[in-house]
Amino acid sequence: MAKPNYSFEKRQREIAKKKEKDQKDARKREAREAAKQAAGSGDAATDDTGTDTPSTAD
C-alpha cells in the first residue's frame, strides 16, 4: 500500500488558498477603481491639479 504524500496535499491546499485570495483582491481592486471613477466623473469643478479652487488668469 502506498503511503500518502502529505507535502503534495499541503501544496495543493496552499495553491487553492492563494488562488482564492488573488480572486478576492481582484474583486476588491475592481470595486475601488469603479468607485474612484464614479467619484471622479461627478466632480467637474476640480482643475488638473486636483484642487477645488478655480485657476485665475491674469
C-alpha cell belonging to residue 35: 468607485
- 55 contacts 47 by C-beta, under 8 angstroms: yes
Average pLDDT, the chain: 84
What pLDDT digit, counting tens, does each position of 4-32 carry?
Answer: 999 999 999 999 999 999 999 999 999 99
Task: Count the residues in the chain.
Answer: 58
pLDDT on residue 53: 62
Say how far apart CA 11 and CA 17 lie, in whole Å.
10
Say how far apart CA 12 and CA 15 lie, in whole Å.
5
pLDDT of 49 > 90? The answer is: no
* Termini Cα distance of the chain: 89
pTM more than 0.85: no
pLDDT of 39 > 90? The answer is: no
pLDDT on residue 17: 98
